[in-house]
Structure 1
Amino acid sequence: MTSVDHVTDVLVVGGGPTGMTVAGDLARAGRSVTVLERWPSINPASRAFVTMARTLELLDSRGLAADLLAGAGTTDRIELFSGATVDLSHLPSRYRYGMILPQTVVDQALENYARDQGAIVVRGTEVVGLEQDTDGVTVTARPKGGGERSTWRAAYVVGADGAHSTVRDLLGVEFPGKSVLSSVVLADVLLGDGPSGTGLTLGSTRNVFGFLAPYGPARPGWYRSVTWDRHHQLPDSAPVEEGEVVRVLTEAMGRDVGVREIGWHSRFHCDERQVRRYRHGRVFLAGDAAHVHSPMGGQGMNTGIQDAANLAWKLDLVLGGADPAILDTYHRERHPIGRRVLRQSGALMRAVTLGPPPARWLRNHLAPLVLSIGRVRDAVAGSFSGVTLRYSRRRGQHPLVGTRATEVPLAEGRLTELQRTPGFLLIREHDVAHLGTTVAQARRIGPGPALLVRPDGYIAWAGPSSRANGPDGWQTAWRTWTARISGPAPVP
């Protein structure tokens, strides 16, 4: 066997928001975890700039949301075409808006979180080899650009190394899909006459689109712009000319928005791709390494962080002796979510870039009408924000199983505050006294069943708290996830 230089419980390849969330959560649970990241510092070309409500809830449960929001802008509206609006102000969440903040700031907060919890972060290091066996995974790495190699041994590896994932390539895993949009330009722009209000604003013609998101009080007058021109298609390596940004924004918005200055900018193309399996033995793919899609709707970073929140606590349980079969639930739960995100962001992209005038006329007349219907408005907003996405439940389980418990009112405070201490939480009915169990507890305010809440905030069981044991009891559900192996164990 190859000599090993370093040993850790979990090796995370990729130090973006997905990888740092996995690392921070595992370290918070007491596991040894190391992050290998090829960039020597945080990638300045990060594309995301909107953090959605569900991700803000997850950041709050790690003590990060308040500080990020203090320096960010927020918006509760996404202005589309011909007055059609995605209204976030009715979301069933504490965060009835999206947070506008460059991904680099979120990246730094999550890296600080991972380091503060005890994760080791090794930057400027690239992975060049990966072998797994029945007991673990051996990874070979070297300094970015060449140098002396080192080996790492881990029980599990998480590939969170982006759309061009080295881990995925070393596994020989296909990334089926296709390129759907090219020569998209991102830029930070200072405007003298930007859109009124604080919403995200989209303008389009049959040949161009422009998108503007205000950064808010921290950077007054500055916006993140996204522009595209059907007739100006260049490779990613082509430089971005300031005149191109100004011209496309003016055409898309139907007026001169007064561009005074252009800061950071980048040109890229976007794909729609998803791996068929998120788990490959002891190696897991998460974030952009598992799925990429159109930037429309601001889903990429958010979906990756939510992947990480789903996976980390399951790895922790298995490292503690729980049945490794529970790791299969990561793919079962997150792959359908990734597929849905890919489809809905793709549908929005295709709606924005429609060319034929009859199709655009129909879109412009139908979209405002449809989005004015309350149930449709809330369904669209809930899906894009992530707060209404749910995991499937088995037949016979309570309808609440698989939904998030974040907004259940508790006598002890917000669920996200309580979940800063990781683990399962049993929420008792409002009139039930403390139960004799080692599982952390809280009491709900008002009517409703008892709930067993998973470490990621989703409901694992619902019913009367008096129903503890037996096939439908909360202790049975809890043991299904957490029991140490002593023979075959049921799979949740």
Structure 2
Amino acid sequence: MSSPLSPRTASTPPSASASAPADVIVVGAGPTGLLLAGDLAAAGVRVTVVEKRARESNLTRAFAVHARTLEAFDARGIAEPLLATGPFLDSLRIFGRGRIDLSRLPSRFPGVLMTPQYETERVLEERALKAGAVLRRGVEVTGLRQDADGVELDVRDVGARDDGIRGEGIRGEGIRDDGIRHDGDGAEGRASETLRASYVVGADGVRSAVRTALGMPFPGRSVLRSVMLADVRLETEPDGLPVFNSGRDGFAFLVAFGDGYYRAIAWRRGCELPSSAPVDLDDLKDLTRAVFGTDYGMHDARWTSRFHSDERQVPRYREGRVLLAGDAAHVHSPAGGLGMNAGLQDAANLGWKLAAVLKGTAPDSLLDSYHDERHPVGRLVLRLSGTLVRSVLLASPVARGLRDAVALAAGAVPFATDRGALMISGIGIGYPAPPGSHPLTGRRAPDLPLVERPGEPSRLYEALRAGTHVRVLPRGGGAPSHDEAGVTTVTRADARPTTLLVRPDGYVAEAADHG
């Protein structure tokens, strides 16, 4: 029985409107949408991205770029530019003196990159535009219809909106903002049009217009209310950034932007102010002192806001020719910095499948495997981040003390910290494989060294930059053949006798020992 892990052949490609301006319309120009658009454009798919923000926002919602995401970027040739934008940490501090050691991850990137989200978006946008994607900003979705051949998307020009840059709120990574208006902001009468494509992907965040137009439920609940955010200057830089701590009064987190400003995130126990309430810098400093013992000379806030955070997941990632990815499909607390990374892995999983279907090299049913593989991962991320945030919110001093002691003890046990590192980094996440498959099927492929030949890649993730499946032959298994469309063949340099077929997203589609 064939598996979605492997390339399959379809007799005819799906039909599409002859007048369609794009094969795929991606709604949302955050990290998830931009990675997907870049993958599709690089594969020769006509893709248009529509984004409600009229210009790039200077707000940063996510900072952590974990190892598995860096591997995905490496397979696209964009890891190095991003690594230059922030510090690379080999461990994460949790609960007092507890640490999760990332330095032993079996990856080219044994750690986590701390960089503002706008740097990630910049690198991804440059790649997508260079590959031929079309980006339309200041355009919001007002309606959606689909039929057997494609999707119609009603959109409206919303002009040069402020996008909440001066503190009206932020969206994304489990964050819901009650202060942003959704009535069109006086945009009545602006230009409206209908776009058509073979497929539409909603990557437009927690308030997804695509998900709303589908009538898709988004079950879950709120877990954090009235969390304060501020971009501030500090007189004294904390040791070992980013720093986090929690106590009787709440918790606080500080991370550097790299431009002299720091993002402060803080929550006061019992505070129920609405998200629209202003942040008092003195209140933020007082809470920071209570948690850290110092406010580090906090001053000159250039931006403040509040948010509350939800845990939600849609029941289906696919509805006909419409698919959901990133925060449009799953949101959770920011604990662990998992949200943006989960969305990027959604995009990496979906992009090659959409391209294969549109090119006619795989049937439309291949897209069902996107839900089958990524929905359980979204559920896992909800559990991981939920466990972390509930540990942070413990009210009892005895419970907090026990938590800190357990975290410190677990950090001294390699097995425990390695397991935690594998899950948080994404390195340990795999996909289900058909019964009877080789044990490596569905697992993440390591960055294997390859037999070097002139003009050819020296390691697997360089070979993946071709955007195809990669067949990895054992050394001595015969000369590589380059006559199969959609497959790049290389030879592994180590002595293992296993032949691998690796998907474009870096997961093993098939494996066989001794040829």
Question: Is the TM-score greater than 0.5?
Answer: yes
Tell which deviates more after alignment, 415-424 or 328-337. 415-424
Task: Give the Cα–Cα distance (whole angstroms) in 2 for the partners of residues 188 and 402 of structure 1.
Answer: 42
2:110 is the alignment partner of 1:134: no
Structure 1 pair 244/209, CA: closer, same or farther in 2 (3 Å)?
A: same
Distance 1:186 1:62, change over 3 A: farther
SS of corresponding position for 2:346? helix
CA distance in 2, matches of 1:68, 1:304: 17
* C-alpha contact (below 8 Å) 1:168/1:289 kept by paired residues: yes
Equivalent residue, structure 2, for 1:202: 244
Superposition misfits of 4+ residues, deviation over 4 angstroms: 3-6
Structure 2 Cα separation of the partners of residues 181 and 396 of structure 1: 44
Give the AA of the match of 1:251. Answer: A
Bigger Cα displacement from structure 2, 374-383 vs 143-152: 143-152
8 Å contact from structure 2 (residues 447, 461) kept in 1: no
Q: 1:360 aligns with which of 400, 409, 416?
A: 400
Does residue 462 (structure 1) correspond to residue 503 (structure 2)? The answer is no
Tell me which residue corresponds to 1:121.
Answer: 135
Q: How far did 1:406 drift?
A: 3.4
Question: RMSD of aligned C-alpha atoms?
Answer: 1.8
1:151-204 alpha-carbon deviations (Å, 9 max, x no partner): 11111100001000000010000000001101112333333333323x432111
| 1:228 alignment counterpart | 267
Task: Please state if 1:284 is matched with 2:323.
Answer: yes
Q: Which amino acid aligns with 2:490?
A: A
Structure 2 equivalent of residue 238 of structure 1: 277
Going from structure 1 to structure 2, the CA distance change for 1:185 and 1:465 (only over 3 Å counts) comes to farther
Matches within 5 A, 1:302-313: 302-313=341-352
Which residue in the other structure is 1:401 paired with?
441
Judged with a 3 Å threshold, the aligned counterparts in structure 2 of structure 1 residues 67 and 435 are, in CA distance, closer, same or farther, namely: closer
* Partners of 1:309 and 1:456 within 8 A in 2: yes
Q: How far is the alpha carbon of 1:106 from its aligned partner?
A: 1.0
| Aligned AA (1:168) | R
- Shift of residue 91 of structure 1? 1.1
User: How many residue pairs get matched?
Assistant: 460
CA contact (8 A) 1:4 1:151 kept: no
Following TM superposition, by how much is the alpha carbon of 1:6 offset from its aligned partner in structure 2, in angstroms?
A: 5.0
Note the C-alpha offset of 1:5: 7.6
Paired letter, 2:340 = M
Partner of 1:255: 294
Partner residue of 2:253? 211
Deviation at 1:133, TM superposition (A): 0.6
Out of 372-381 and 188-197, give the one that drifted further. 188-197
Structure 1, unmatched stretches of 5+, are 467-492
Provide the rounded CA distance (Å) in 2 between the counterparts of 1:398 and 1:126.
Answer: 46
Q: Which residue of 2 aligns with 1:371?
A: 411
Percent of paired sites with the same residue: 47
Closer, same or farther: CA 465–160 of 1 in aligned 2, 3 Å = farther
- 2:461 corresponding residue in structure 1: 416
Structure 2: gaps of 5 or more residues:
1-16, 159-186, 452-456
Give the alignment of 1:5-404 within 5 angstroms: 7-144=21-158, 145-146=187-188, 147-197=190-240, 199-215=241-257, 218-219=258-259, 222-321=261-360, 322-404=362-444
Shifted more, 30-39 versus 426-435: the winner is 426-435
Contact 2:230–2:265 (Cα < 8 Å) also in 1: yes
Aligned twin of 2:490: 442
Of structures 1 and 2, the one scoring higher in RCO (CA 8 A, sep 6+) is 2
Aligned partners of 2:351, 2:73: CA distance in 1, in Å?
A: 14
Question: Post-superposition shift, 1:460?
Answer: 0.4
Separation in 2, partners of 1:247, 1:407 = 47
State the SS of the aligned residue for 1:25.
helix
Q: Which amino acid aligns with 1:336?
A: P
What TM-score do you get using the length of structure 2 for normalisation? 0.86
Q: Cα 1:456–1:465, aligned 2, differ >3 Å: closer, same or farther? A: farther
State the SS of the aligned residue for 1:270.
strand
Give 1:427's aligned amino acid: V
What CA distance in whole angstroms lies between the structure 2 residues aligned with 1:196 and 1:243? 23
Give the SS at the match of 2:466: coil
Give the AA of the match of 2:243: T
Q: Conserved in 1, the CA contact under 8 Å of 2:233 and 2:298?
A: yes
